[in-house]
Amino acid sequence: MSVTSKVISFSQDLRERNVKVMLLAMIIAVATVATINAFADHLQRTLMTSASGFLAADRQLNSRTNAPIPEAWYAEAINQGLEVGRMVEFGTMVSNETQFQLVAIKAVDNAYPLRGELEWQANLDGDRETITSGPKPGEVWLNPRLMRLLELQPGDSLEVGATTLKVSGVIVREPDGGFRLSDLAPRVMMHIDDVAATEVIQPGSRVRHRGLFAGNSAALADFESWLEPQLTENYRWINVRQGETLGESLDKAEGFLLLGGSLAVLLAVVAIAVASRQYALSQRDRVALLKTMGLTGKRIRKLYISRLVVWGLISTLIGLMLAIPAAWLLASMTAQLMDQPLQFEVDFWQLWPAILTALVALFAFAYPPIDRLRNTPAMRVFRSLPSNDSSALAKDLLLAVVVIFGLLWVYVNDIVLVMALLGAVIALVVSLAIAGAGLIWILRRFPAGKGSWRLAVIALYRHRNATLSQMSVFAMTIMLAATLILVRSSLLADWQAQLPEDAPNHFLLNIAPESVDEVEAFFNQHQINRSPLYPIIRGRLTEINSQPAVEVALNKDDDELRRELNLTISDSYPDDNQVIAGQWFEADETKGLSIEQSLAESLGVEVGDELGFTVGAEKITATITSIRSVQWDSMRPNFFLIFPPKGAIDGLPSTSLTSFYLAEQDKQLLNDFVRQFPTISVLEIDHIIERIQQIIRQVTQAVEAILVMILLAAIAVMVAVVSATMSERQREGALLRTIGGQQRLLVRATMLEFALIGFLAGILGVLAAEIAVWALQYRMFDGEFRWHWPVVLSMPFISAVILAILGRWQLTPVLTVSPMLLLRRLE
Amino acid sequence: MSTDRQPNPSNDFMIEVQNLSHSVDLGTDSLTILQQVNLSIGKGESAAIVGRSGSGKTTLLGLLAGLDLPTSGTVHLDGHLISALSEDERASLRSRRVGFVFQSFQLLPTLSAIENVMLPIELAGLPDARSKAEGLLDRVGLAERMQHTPRQLSGGEQQRVAIARAFAVDPQVLFADEPTGNLDTRTGEAITELLMTLNREQGTTLVMVTHDQQLADRCQRHFVIEAGVLHEKQSDKQTVTAA
Ligand SMILES: Nc1ncnc2c1ncn2[C@@H]1O[C@H](COP(=O)(O)OP(=O)(O)O)[C@@H](O)[C@H]1O
Ligand SMILES: [Mg+2]
């Protein structure tokens, strides 16, 4: 190797503190971005899989009419490498030879369930077992209420239509049980091969076919794009997100991960920019010397750029190598919460944002100051000259803003997030400039005080340039960390509020007016809180503007036209609904009606249209006065149609619905309840709620893990930045000691100096974070803005403490080694 | 002002300065460091510039070497008008003609002694860097210390390495800024001896800033600078304004 290349060779570079800092920053940048990306991807797949239990598959294809799902579609799915399963649902009467009962039958094949599992008991008193297959041909499972109603034991026979099946177990839970208040009949599960023998499926009877599909996401996507063009409105292709589950929670979790990733990018970029500037400053003497030896600017540039490329390559590689085990670690952490953890895998596409980050960071942030090195005056060999690069700094800053914008845009592709972060960064830079100028003004005028305080203030003023740039980095770091902490808190609070621990997890339906008091008494006796009673009137939607609904509706095959709907009466709408057209009922409304958005769209009706219903023998009409959006995944009672208290259905025969929370250990109360009120249906959704809470816990863990990672990265950046000016400070410390400064004074002054920087940076950073959170809150995580006093008040102190510790740390060698040795070493 | 880039055929001077003045901008007002300096130094001559600290010696040296451009007046280095050259052209001009010795040695701390000497040879694109550097280090008495880094060497040893480095490209002119300023008297004398000997052997033009009277006396020419004004002191110790 020639000496020339050794002057700025990689191994030489590594002895340079600033190079180490820059490399470290790069490695942290690449590793964090890559880790978050790989982990976010893994988490998303895990959550999708975990939530797929709700569909018993990754995707479901549901028929909205009697038509079965074409066999060719299944064939193509298998061809594409997917697993498939078939399922049929219908209502019919079953009997134990003496009693008849209307039931909801689900007939499944051997593949069921492709995802998730069933809970099953061998008999009514048996233990709950978790199994992953449905009943065998010739067998049938009943839900507990039906077992009691029909007084059946395992081994007994059950007549289903024209065939007789053997009762072989109790079905307690099915993964795709869903949350349908309209399915009132008790569940019976049988094998799909026995369906034909029942002879209950006749033309005109209400049968719904469901296709189940599972496989890797690529195969699913392929099949989806093949299937899409052939789907008529008679079929609905559902993934977990469109299902009645937790699409929104997943969206928010993803938003958070993206935010975390963007913050990591910003953090890294800041660290790289600072380190590169420090490096360039430290190289000026060397460049000046090379110039006296006749090296031209062009050759100087070449020399340094080639180093930059080598650094970039090496740190990117190391970063990626660190990211993979880190993401794996995070993945296995969340896996502990999962019943069936997903295999962790990484592919290149998860890594490229990290590589892009490295490239951009190098060339937009590390390059400019290094490129300017060649303008170093050769006279510097004789004396240090002030560099007049303030115009260059402005140019760098502009470039930085544009590049950060572009990078975030590529990375998150969300204008609100990008603008929010950018706005906060700009606000921060402006306030930093103002605060910095103010600070220097104050320091110059009042270097007052005594002892360590005075020493600290003088040091601040003497290092004002370094102080300002360090303070900028700290403030930025604190802003990013605080943003993440704040968003995390509001996210978790949001989830908590959406589904509190004691969210109602059981519903009672079919409460007859005469049993209301008794039910009330039962609840009081056992001290269970229930929600208000909603009256339910069952009615069919028959007319739209006096025309038969089945003929004039936009979607004539809509299921809701073919079954009885739950109509309710209320003077208010559930909190999570929103009126999106028309007006909610006036106090004395009599003719009005409020309809749910998707039903209105399917029917093709608007505010002002008149709907006709048949309730028992009566016909009633009402005019649409409002259209509501409904959060079907809220796990609370929700209705397609709401009438006003003095409206069209007032006084018609009704039953009531209510919901309540029952803890796992109190579940046997249900048996007492069912015995006492055999006609009241109990809908257990505790398992769905549990599942969602489990997923939220998982996401919460992930969010915490990312937060910790970002905070670690932030501290690493701070350490890096402090150590960038370490040798100069150590020399000063050594000097101070040589001239007789006491160790205690030195330690106190240094810690005080850093604490002051930390405190100021903390204030600015946390205020900028509030701006960012304020902007983010609206779109991404839609909550309301409020001041986060605990964070706002504690952050400046926390950052002061961290920096004081860092200041103490960088002083250590000065305190342990003799000043003479130090001065020599630091020469 | 002449923009002639060709060597000026009319003289044999290595360095020729006419009416040079230099001032620096200090924001509000400007500070004049050098005033109306005229001097010429012939090829192979040795010249000492003596003056109090802050009188402008280093500034003048930098201007003579083309590290900076004067505010007014002209500098010809080996016949080239340096103010007509770009920064890179001046750098190229220096690469094989000019050597430097500094008060603070200015060795690269991460390179060994021999590598420090090899550096300018390689930068100038000259062959046999290693053997040449070995020869020079041997010449300055550091044959045994070639692999040591500056930190492992004493001040005097470091300055020897710096002198070896300065002569590495066989420069036509050597600029030395207080080469003994950081050394004790005995070591300083040894360094002076070495510098003068090598200079004589190589036939190099030497421009040396010093406030060591003895060292100055050993040079053929002797300039005194006072508050930015330059005089030549004749060898008969009579001061006259330089021609
Ligand atoms: N770029 C500059 N900016 C401000 N003052 C300068 C600059 N260059 C030189 N000076 C001042 O000019 C004077 C002469 O400096 P210098 O040439 O280093 O003197 P010497 O080498 O004789 O000690 C000093 O007072 C120095 O502070
Ligand atoms: Mg000087």
**Average of pLDDT values for A526-536?**
85
Contact B76, B15 (CB under 8 A): yes
pLDDT surpassing 80 at residue A669: yes
Average pLDDT, chain B: 87
User: Do the domain assignments include residue B62?
Assistant: yes
Q: What is the pLDDT of residue B2?
A: 43
Q: What is the pLDDT of residue B140?
A: 92
Residue B3: pLDDT band (50, 70, 90) is very low
Q: What is the pLDDT of residue B6?
A: 47
A654: closest CA among A564, A586, A587? A564
Which of B22, B49, B64, B94 has the highest number of chain A CBs within 10 A, making it the mutation to test binding with A? B94
Q: If you count them, how many residues does chain A have?
A: 827
- Show the 3-state SS of A140-194: EEECHHHHHHCCCCCCCEEEECCEEEEEEEEEEECCCCCCCCCCCCCEEEEEHHH
Q: What is the pLDDT of residue A242?
A: 57
Q: What is the pLDDT of residue A231?
A: 85
User: Do the domain assignments include residue B2?
Assistant: no
Tokens of A470: 């360090």
Nearest CA to ligand 1 atom 18: B58
Query: What is the ipTM, given to two decimal places?
Result: 0.89
Residue A11: pLDDT band (50, 70, 90) is low
Q: What is the pLDDT of residue A824?
A: 54
Which residues make Cβ contacts (< 8 Å) with residue A665, sequence separation at least 6?
Answer: none
Q: What is the CA radius of gyration of chain A?
A: 35
- From chain B, pick out residues whose CB is under 8 angstroms from the CB of A297: 87-88, 91
Which residues make Cβ contacts (< 8 Å) with residue A763, sequence separation at least 6?
Answer: A795, A796
User: Do the domain assignments include residue B8?
Assistant: no
Edge-first strand listing for the sheet containing B80-81:
B29-42, B13-26, B72-77, B80-81
Encode pLDDT of A350-359 as tens digits. 778 788 878 8
Q: Which residue has the higher pLDDT, A813 or A483?
A: A483
Ligand 1 atom having least distance to the Cα of B61? 17
Sign of CA dihedral A607, A608, A614, A618: positive
Q: What is the pLDDT of residue A623?
A: 93
User: Do the domain assignments include residue B44?
Assistant: yes
Sign of CA dihedral A586, A592, A593, A598: negative
pLDDT surpassing 90 at residue B22: yes
The protein residues having their C-beta less than 5 angstroms from ligand 2 (an ion) are: B 58
**Average of pLDDT values for A317-322?**
90
Helix or strand (DSSP H, E) at A581? strand A578-582
Which of B64, B93, B123 has the highest number of chain A CBs within 10 A, making it the mutation to test binding with A? B123
Residue A764 region by backbone torsions, left for phi larger than 0, else alpha for psi between -120 and 50, else beta: alpha
Q: Which residue has the higher pLDDT, A735 or A570?
A: A570
pLDDT surpassing 90 at residue B173: yes
pLDDT surpassing 90 at residue A380: no
Q: What is the pLDDT of residue B1?
A: 42
Q: Tell me the nearest-neighbour CA distance from B63 into chain A, angstroms.
A: 9
pLDDT surpassing 50 at residue B4: no
User: Do the domain assignments include residue B128?
Assistant: yes
Q: What is the pLDDT of residue B5?
A: 44
- Ligand 1 binding residues, C-beta < 6 A: A 385; B 24, 31, 33, 51, 53-59
Residue B243: pLDDT band (50, 70, 90) is very low
Cβ pair B122:A286 closer than 8 A: no
Cβ pair A7:B88 closer than 8 A: no
pLDDT surpassing 80 at residue B189: yes
Q: Would you tell me how many other CB atoms lie within 10 Å of the CB of residue A761?
A: 29
Encode pLDDT of B48-67 as tens digits. 999 988 899 999 999 999 99
Q: Which residue has the higher pLDDT, A44 or A70?
A: A70
| DSSP letters spanning B167-200 | TTT--SEEEEESTTTTS-HHHHHHHHHHHHHHHH
B71 touches chain A (CB under 8 A): no
Domain carrying residue B74: 13-241
A355: closest CA among A770, A4, A588, A38? A38
Q: How far is the CA of B63 from the centre of ligand 1 (A)?
A: 12
CATH of the domain at B223: 3.40.50.300
User: Do the domain assignments include residue B4?
Assistant: no
Q: What is the pLDDT of residue A386?
A: 64
User: Do the domain assignments include residue B38?
Assistant: yes
B100 touches chain A (CB under 8 A): yes
Encode pLDDT of A778-827 as tens digits. 655 555 667 778 888 898 999 999 989 988 888 887 777 666 665 555 44
pLDDT surpassing 80 at residue A53: no
Cβ pair B108:A294 closer than 8 A: no
Residue A139: pLDDT band (50, 70, 90) is very high
Ligand 1 atom having least distance to the Cα of B225? 22
Name the amino acid, one letter, at A168.
S
Whole-number percent of chain A with pLDDT over 90: 16
**Average of pLDDT values for A764-779?**
81
Of A3, A292, A381, the CB nearest to B111: A3
**β pairing state of A187-191 and A139-142:** antiparallel
Q: What is the pLDDT of residue A638?
A: 80
**Average of pLDDT values for A533-539?**
88
Q: Which residue has the higher pLDDT, B7 or A107?
A: A107
Q: What is the pLDDT of residue A328?
A: 84
Give the number of A-B residue pairs with CB atoms closer than 8 Å: 80
CA–CA gap between residue A340 and residue B142 (Å, rounded): 72
Whole-number percent of chain B with pLDDT over 90: 56
Tokens of B235: 């060898």
Encode pLDDT of A231-262 as tens digits. 887 888 887 665 444 566 666 777 777 777 77
> CA of A144: how far to CAs of A127, A673, B59, in Å?
13, 13, 100
Q: How far is the CA of A16 from the centre of ligand 2 (A)?
A: 29
Contact A123, A153 (CB under 8 A): yes
Average pLDDT, chain A: 81
Number of folded domains that form chain B: 1
This prediction has a pTM of 0.70
Name the amino acid, one letter, at B189.
E
Encode pLDDT of A391-446 as tens digits. 676 777 778 778 877 877 877 777 777 788 788 888 888 888 888 788 778 777 76
Name the amino acid, one letter, at B37.
V
Q: What is the pLDDT of residue B71?
A: 94
Edge-first strand listing for the sheet containing B173-177:
B98-101, B173-177, B205-210, B46-51, B221-226, B229-233, B239-240
pLDDT surpassing 90 at residue B223: yes
Q: What is the pLDDT of residue B35?
A: 94
- What is the DSSP code (8-state) at residue A682? E
Q: Match 């997917």 to its residue by tokens.
A: A82
CA–CA gap between residue A791 and residue A775 (Å, rounded): 17
Q: What is the pLDDT of residue B241?
A: 44
Q: What is the pLDDT of residue A772?
A: 82
Q: What is the pLDDT of residue A593?
A: 93
Q: Which residue has the higher pLDDT, A399 or A214?
A: A214
Q: What is the pLDDT of residue A247?
A: 61
Range B104-109 contact pairs with CB under 8 angstroms and sequence separation of 24 or more: B104/B182, B105/B150, B105/B155, B105/B158, B105/B159, B105/B161, B105/B162, B105/B182, B106/A285, B106/A289, B106/A381, B106/B162, B107/B150, B107/B158, B107/B161, B107/B162, B107/B165, B108/A7, B108/A286, B108/A289, B108/B150, B109/B149, B109/B150, B109/B151
Cβ pair A293:B93 closer than 8 A: no
Q: How far is the CA of B32 from the centre of ligand 1 (A)?
A: 9
Range among A249-253, A469-473, A585-589, A730-734 with highest mean pLDDT value: A585-589
Q: Which of B22, B28, B30, B31 to mutate to test the pocket of ligand 1 (most atoms within 8 A of CB)?
A: B31
pLDDT surpassing 80 at residue B38: yes
Least confident of A667-681, A810-824, B34-48, B194-208: A810-824
Q: Match 């709700």 to its residue by tokens.
A: A54
Percent helix, percent strand, percent coil in chain B, to nearest 5? 35, 30, 35
Least confident of A106-120, A133-147, B9-23, B79-93: B9-23
**β pairing state of A655-660 and A506-511:** antiparallel
A363: closest CA among A438, A309, A415, A416? A309
pLDDT surpassing 80 at residue A113: yes
User: Do the domain assignments include residue B97?
Assistant: yes
Name the amino acid, one letter, at A622.
A
